[in-house]
């Protein structure tokens, strides 16, 4: 492709709304262009790379025996009848001219399950894994970071259907291996973490997380190989022998306006860990839960809800707190009513601690377990850097990651919801066992640029770079250079090499800047060595420069 004849537009300045490297570079290099918040158009370089990325995914999915299909984005709203509440405002809804309620698909479990239900009647037709690469729509509250979190984005989603759990295990493992092949092929540095599968009712879920400081997910890892999303990371309870510490009598103290743990630290000359934090929640808009934990820890709400049961969790209101016999800012687990008190396991190790007195401006000091009422002990705190690994007892570390893929066993959840059955070998009607597997394709492109760039621009692996070679003609006024550049361009084209020819009338400086920005792995400068029949070859990744004969360069790729 001749750049002079191409839709080619790069930018010197970073876009104003861009906070991260990949967002800045993808826009500056002219891969993407913002339409509106969270919605991006793909320009020529971007669309080529996107297609290549899709092809890597497609090849590996096909290799795994999955069948590609294409569902629709525009769907009648009743398709999602079972989880409209779950999607809530994240779902884009619209009405057609006849008044029918429609939506733009945020995820396609129901649609694939429906297709299976109609076509598959016998165990002989199973197992099957189906997939598509398709645009998804989610009205994200905070679209940001360019392609990283969009309202419209490309996803590869796959769904496996098996006759039993053993079959599902097999299909799931094949997809896990396929995902590893895909992300390895792309050269991404990633970890596979155990993830929470929320309310899906499945039994297993893993996320593929690209390691990155700008990642939105926090991951807990250990040198032994343990890796978990913080939502699911276990905190191992290590009992401390404090039997020899004298339990002091609990006494009430006046603590005017000292409502938070940090308010109390200095005046009482105590550390945060000496206080018993009480956080009050409302679950499914009815049950009040008081979570107790050491003052220096945070509640992991997903673990709390898993321990107590329920779906939605929110902070309790001042009125809710009054109803259980307490006052916001001074809650303690003494004489509460109409609530369930759930303490973190680590609270068992606490002695002579400080708690709220359920009365404005008062706390108790020297409280002990015998002074408070606990309905249940559970693991409810967020795992942190320095905690003990639940597997090997080593030290846990906290890192950040970008979720590029997610695989999970959904079991018979959607099959039951949509009555998707088959006849087994004994003629008995059974629900299909399903798995769902997603890759955020456009997010993966962002993650790739996060990991493959320098100050000058994007450096993509050959397999997904938009072009392999960029021939830069140093001076378009030199007939000799133009002729040599054209000849090389034709030779490479004839060999089937994906090549750009920078034949614009711009300065060599501007053209080289663009060449470094746009992520093409090899740059050939046809300039001052032309008279000798040579050109300069630059490896964008290593920065290595070599002067070689034009005739040799023509056969190098
Ligand atoms: P997240 O936790 O980041 O919101 P999710 O868990 O809701 O993602 P899934 O439903 O598991 O996402 O979708 C599969 C994949 O699609 C994710 O692993 C992610 O890579 C990608 N993805 C999800 N939401 C977005 C988005 N708004 N923009 C770009 N990619 C996304
Ligand atoms: Mg996910």
Average pLDDT over residues 103-119: 97
- Number of separate helices (H) and strands (E) present in the chain: 13, 32
The mean-pLDDT minimum among 42-51, 154-163, 234-243, 473-482 falls in 234-243
The answer for residues whose C-beta is within 8 angstroms of residue 81's C-beta and 6 or more apart is none
Q: Tens digits of per-residue pLDDT, 289-312? A: 999 999 999 999 999 998 999 888
Bridge partners (DSSP) listed for residue 430? 422
What are the pLDDT digits (tens) for 269-289?
999 999 999 999 999 999 999
Using CB atoms within 10 A of its CB, is residue 14 exposed (0-12), middle (13-18) or buried (19+)?
Answer: middle
Distances in whole angstroms, Cα of residue 419 to Cα of each of 113, 124, 161, 306, 426: 9, 19, 13, 27, 19
pLDDT, position 172: 97
Distances (CA, A) of 455 to 17, 32, 66, 339, 391: 19, 19, 40, 56, 41
Atom of ligand 1 nearest to the CA of 438: 14
Question: Tell me: the pLDDT tens digits for 19-41?
Answer: 999 999 999 999 999 999 999 99
Ligand 1 pocket mutation pick from 407, 410, 443 by most atoms within 8 angstroms of CB = 443
What is the greatest pairwise CA distance in the chain? 96
Residue of minimum CA distance from atom 16 in ligand 1: 440
Q: Is the CB of 205 under 6 A from ligand 1?
A: no
Ligand 1 pocket, residue 21 CB under 6 Å: no
Please count the residues of the chain. 557
Could you tell me the pLDDT band of residue 531, with boundaries at 50, 70 and 90? very high
Q: Give the nearest ligand 1 atom to 406 CA.
A: 18
Please tell me if the CB atom of residue 440 comes closer than 6 angstroms to any atom of ligand 1: yes
**Of 501, 474, 468, which is closest to residue 52 (Cα–Cα)?**
468
Tens digit of pLDDT for each residue in 303-351? 999 899 988 899 999 999 999 999 999 999 899 999 999 999 999 999 9
pLDDT tens digits, residue range 453-498?
A: 999 999 999 999 999 999 999 999 999 999 999 999 999 999 999 9
Looking at the CA of residue 151, tell me the nearest atom of ligand 1.
27
Is the per-residue pLDDT at 213 higher than 80?
yes
DSSP assignments along 469-508, one per residue: EEEEES-TT-HHHHHHHHHHHHHHHHTT--EEEE--SS-H
Write down the pTM of the prediction: 0.86
**pLDDT for res 312:** 86
* 531 CB burial (10 A radius; 0-12, 13-18, 19+): exposed
51, pLDDT greater than 90: yes
* CB of 153 sitting under 6 A from ligand 1: yes
Residue 127 beta carbon below 6 angstroms from any ligand 1 atom = no
- Cα-flanking dihedrals φ and ψ of residue 489, to 5°? -60, -45
Asked whether 443 lines ligand 1 (CB < 6 A), one says yes
Give residue 406 CA to ligand 2 midpoint distance, Å: 5
Among the bound ligands, name the one nearest to the CA of residue 405. 1
pLDDT of residue 197: 53
Calculate how far, in angstroms, residue 140's C-alpha sits from the geometric centre of ligand 1.
Answer: 10
């Amino acid at each position: 492709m001749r750049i002079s004849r191409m839709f080619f537009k790069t930018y010197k300045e970073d876009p104003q709304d861009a906070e991260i490297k990949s967002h800045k570079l993808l826009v500056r290099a002219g891969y993407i262009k913002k339409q509106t918040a969270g919605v991006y158009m793909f320009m020529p370089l971007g669309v080529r790379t996107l297609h290549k990325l899709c092809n890597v995914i497609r090849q590996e999915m096909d290799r795994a025996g999955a069948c590609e299909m294409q569902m629709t984005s525009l769907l009648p709203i009743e398709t999602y009848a079972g989880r409209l509440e779950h999607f809530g405002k994240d779902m884009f809804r619209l009405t057609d001219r006849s008044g029918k309620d429609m939506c733009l698909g945020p995820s396609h479990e129901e649609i694939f399950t429906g297709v299976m239900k109609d076509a598959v009647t016998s165990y002989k037709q199973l197992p099957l894994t189906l997939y598509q690469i398709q645009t998804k729509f989610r009205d994200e509250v905070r679209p940001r970071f360019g392609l990283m979190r969009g309202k419209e984005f490309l996803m590869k989603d796959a769904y496996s259907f098996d006759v039993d759990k053993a079959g599902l295990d097999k299909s799931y493992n094949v997809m896990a291996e396929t995902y590893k092949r895909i992300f390895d092929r792309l050269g991404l540095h990633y970890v596979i973490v155990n993830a929470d599968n929320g309310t899906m009712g499945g039994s297993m879920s893993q996320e593929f997380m690209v390691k990155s400081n700008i990642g939105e997910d926090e991951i807990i890892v250990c040198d032994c190989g343990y890796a978990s999303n913080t939502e699911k990371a276990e905190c191992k309870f290590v009992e401390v022998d404090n039997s020899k510490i004298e339990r002091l009598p609990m006494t009430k103290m006046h603590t005017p306006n000292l409502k938070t743990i940090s308010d109390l630290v200095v005046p009482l000359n105590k550390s945060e860990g000496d206080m018993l934090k009480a956080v009050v929640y409302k679950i499914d808009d009815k049950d009040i839960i008081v979570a107790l934990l050491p003052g220096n820890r945070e509640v992991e709400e997903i673990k709390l809800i898993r321990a107590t049961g329920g779906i939605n969790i929110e902070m309790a209101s001042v009125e809710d707190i009054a109803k259980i016999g307490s006052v916001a800012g001074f809650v303690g687990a003494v004489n509460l009513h109409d609530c369930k008190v759930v303490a973190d396991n680590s609270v068992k190790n606490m002695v002579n601690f400080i708690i709220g007195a359920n009365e404005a401006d008062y706390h108790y000091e020297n409280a002990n377990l015998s002074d408070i009422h606990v309905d249940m002990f559970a693991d409810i705190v967020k795992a942190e850097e320095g905690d003990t690994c639940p597997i090997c007892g080593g030290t846990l570390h906290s890192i950040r990651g970008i979720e590029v893929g997610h695989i999970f066993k959904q079991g018979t959840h959607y099959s039951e919801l949509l009555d998707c059955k088959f006849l087994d070998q004994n003629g008995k009607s059974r629900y299909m066992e399903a798995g769902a597997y997603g890759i955020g394709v456009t997010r993966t492109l962002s993650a790739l640029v996060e990991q493959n760039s320098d100050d000058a621009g994007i450096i993509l692996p050959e397999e997904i770079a938009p072009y392999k070679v960029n021939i830069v003609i140093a001076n378009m006024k030199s007939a000799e250079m133009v002729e040599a550049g054209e000849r090389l361009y034709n030779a490479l084209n004839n060999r089937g090499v994906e090549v750009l020819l920078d034949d614009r009338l711009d300065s060599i400086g501007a053209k080289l800047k663009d060449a470094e920005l746009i992520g093409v792995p090899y740059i050939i400068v046809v300039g001052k060595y032309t008279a000798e029949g040579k050109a300069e070859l630059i490896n964008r990744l290593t920065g290595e420069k070599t002067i070689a004969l034009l005739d040799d360069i023509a056969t190098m790729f």
